[in-house]
Structure 1
Amino acid sequence: MDINQLTLLVVDDMHFSRESLRISLGKCGITDIHTAENALQALKAVDKFSPDVILVDKMMPKVDGPKLISKIRAKDEEKDSHTYIILLTADESENALRDAMLSGADHYLYKDAGGEKIINCIEYIDTQFRAQQILKELEQQEKNQREASEQPVPPTSTATEAAAPEPMPQGETNHDGPSPQDLSCILVDDEDFSAEHLQRLMNKLKVSDVRVAKNALEALKQHKKEPADFMLVDYMMPKVDGIKLTEMIREFDRERGRFTPIVMITAAASLKKIEEAIKAGVDEYLYKPPSAHDLVQRIEAAFKKHNPESPLAQANWASFF
């Protein structure tokens, strides 16, 4: 991504805020900046300029930021595109994270953020988005390979009966799903600072049972003793890395007919490493240091990947903040 070539739209009802952002971003090399003071002007600017990035103030009269974002996402869906959207808020409570997630924003920043911080956020969003596109492509390739290798089943009554889906257990019909407080997580990271950061995010999510392991073998031992509902795994660890740990977890789970959602967290921004992680069985991928917003999105996606109909997958995680 070439920051200098971006087209950016700033949406804020306060003239001072719009101009401050325009000047701050201009000093960082972004020159193609448009502004709008309300949702109507913003939607017209989206149609006219097709901005790559939109900064949206949360609190605006008549149509607020989250409602505007939902309208922009509808336009994205029509064009099969994805505009990077950052929700700007003065709210420093946990509600800011929840509002950003529920609105469809890619990320959120406090309103006092300067140009450099905004650019760092844009680059982070872009890296995450490209990583997710690669994941989708790899999953589609695997799906196509599986479909190509499957043999058609003869249309006999026995085959039809065998292919009929079993009725969903009563517990699986609960669309609310369990809350994060009911779940257990094994967090694997050999760096104390990173582990503490992830622990704080898990506390924010209100996951009460968080077990920390400093290396892969310790994590595997904990999982074998008491399997976790999901795992956060660092990529780079001494002796046994996150890829090998994932393979060992998958082997252990297969023998017991279970599947543990795994989110890999790494400082290595390499597309090759993403491919290695997916092939090993990693469900989702995040770069260090992850925000609570991105971590929750990836945890949600990991649960949905295994069993979309389960209560765990159907739980709206943002609502628990």
Structure 2
Amino acid sequence: MHRIEMNELSVIVIEPSVTQSHIVERYLHNLGVRTIDMLKNGASALEEMRRTPPDLVISALYLSDMTGTDLVHSMRKESQLADIAFILISSETCFRYLDPIKQAGAVAIIPKPFSQDDLQIALQATLDFIDSPDITLENLEPESLQVLLVDDSDMARKHARRVLEAMGVEQITEARDGEEGAYQVREHYFDLVITDYNMPRMDGQELAHFIRNSSDQPSLPVIMLTSESNEHRLAMAREAGVSAITGKPFEPNTLKRLLEEVLREA
């Protein structure tokens, strides 16, 4: 099967700053991207996407008519645009502004100032998102693994499922929050749980605590994929019994490594 290359990507860039738009466009050209539409606001970007859906949207956080958060959530609500890869470029560091974008399934968030190398890494993550690479799990039989995937973001679950399937995992059960996840653990046997942290009703830390203390599978490995950056909260998740933690967005090979580590130890 043909795997898309960087020079085949079609990209829409939404950046109101003339200086920043020139930087992004120059870096993209240097990296081999040839199909680039440079736009200044969210409304024109959505209109262009509906005419010709791109492979990737790169946006600033603060636009003249909406935020990058508004833009990506609008995309996720339209079936034609829902699966388009999204990268945010922003100097914003506040968790409450960035988390909704991470939860919407952004493939990367690039902090300003950024280099061409930073953009190249994000574009590689985009290629992995569009066409998940073949990833072989070492010394495991992925087709026999029973995996529970818990996340309140449909897009995040979809991306994680695609990566797992690229590894050869076939038996994947999904849950929309920790409460649904706890129900699945009570009702079914699993080899592994992959969960988000911040979810309604029951979060990932509470789910891990339930598994360790109130389930029939107390040794069940739990990997947490999260945009949470508060070290105290992450430490509490580890204390609750999370086996391994990695950030969102995640690299497919990072998830592969964590799967191999926690399943070897199980």
Is TM > 0.5 for Structure 1 vs Structure 2?
yes
Q: CA, structure 1 residues 44+16, in 2 after alignment: closer, same or farther (shift >3 Å)?
A: same
Note the 1:226-305 alignment, pairs <5 A: 229-232=241-244
What's 2:76 paired with? 73
- State the alpha-carbon separation in 1 of the partners of residues 63 and 252 from structure 2: 36
- State the alpha-carbon separation in 1 of the partners of residues 254 and 111 from structure 2: 24
Please say if residues 6 and 32 of structure 1, whose CA atoms lie closer than 8 Å, have aligned partners that are also in contact.
Answer: yes
Q: CA, structure 1 residues 95+268, in 2 after alignment: closer, same or farther (shift >3 Å)?
A: closer
1:206 partnered with 2:234: yes
Q: Give the Å deviation of 1:74.
A: 2.1
Aligned to 1:50, the other structure's residue is in SS state: coil
Note the 1:44-83 alignment, pairs <5 A: 44-75=47-78, 77-78=79-80, 82-83=83-84
TM-score, with structure 2 as normaliser: 0.55
* Identity across the alignment (%): 12
Q: Over residues 197-232 of structure 1, what are the superposed CA-to-partner deviations in whole Å (9 max), with x where a residue is unaligned? A: x9x967264333637xxxxxxxxxxxxxxxx63312
- Partner AA of 1:54 in structure 2: V
Q: Which of 135, 139, 147 is residue 164 of structure 2 equivalent to? A: 135
1:100 partnered with 2:129: no
Q: CA, structure 1 residues 182+90, in 2 after alignment: closer, same or farther (shift >3 Å)?
A: same
Structure with more of its chain in helix, by fraction: 1
- State the alpha-carbon separation in 2 of the partners of residues 265 and 232 from structure 1: 15
- State the alpha-carbon separation in 2 of the partners of residues 45 and 264 from structure 1: 29
- State the alpha-carbon separation in 2 of the partners of residues 231 and 264 from structure 1: 18
Aligned to 1:88, the other structure's residue is in SS state: strand
Unaligned runs of 5+ in 2: 134-160, 173-186, 188-198, 213-218
TM-score, with structure 1 as normaliser: 0.47
Q: CA, structure 1 residues 32+175, in 2 after alignment: closer, same or farther (shift >3 Å)?
A: closer
Please say if residues 233 and 264 of structure 1, whose CA atoms lie closer than 8 Å, have aligned partners that are also in contact.
Answer: no
Tell me the C-alpha RMSD between the 2 structures.
4.5
Q: CA, structure 1 residues 104+266, in 2 after alignment: closer, same or farther (shift >3 Å)?
A: closer
Unaligned runs of 5+ in 1: 144-165, 167-173, 189-197, 212-227, 235-262, 283-321
Q: Over residues 119-162 of structure 1, what are the superposed CA-to-partner deviations in whole Å (9 max), with x where a residue is unaligned? A: 211212433562632535866x548xxxxxxxxxxxxxxxxxxx
- State the alpha-carbon separation in 2 of the partners of residues 39 and 202 from structure 1: 31
Please say if residues 25 and 114 of structure 1, whose CA atoms lie closer than 8 Å, have aligned partners that are also in contact.
Answer: no
Q: CA, structure 1 residues 11+204, in 2 after alignment: closer, same or farther (shift >3 Å)?
A: farther
- Larger radius of gyration between Structure 1 and Structure 2: 1
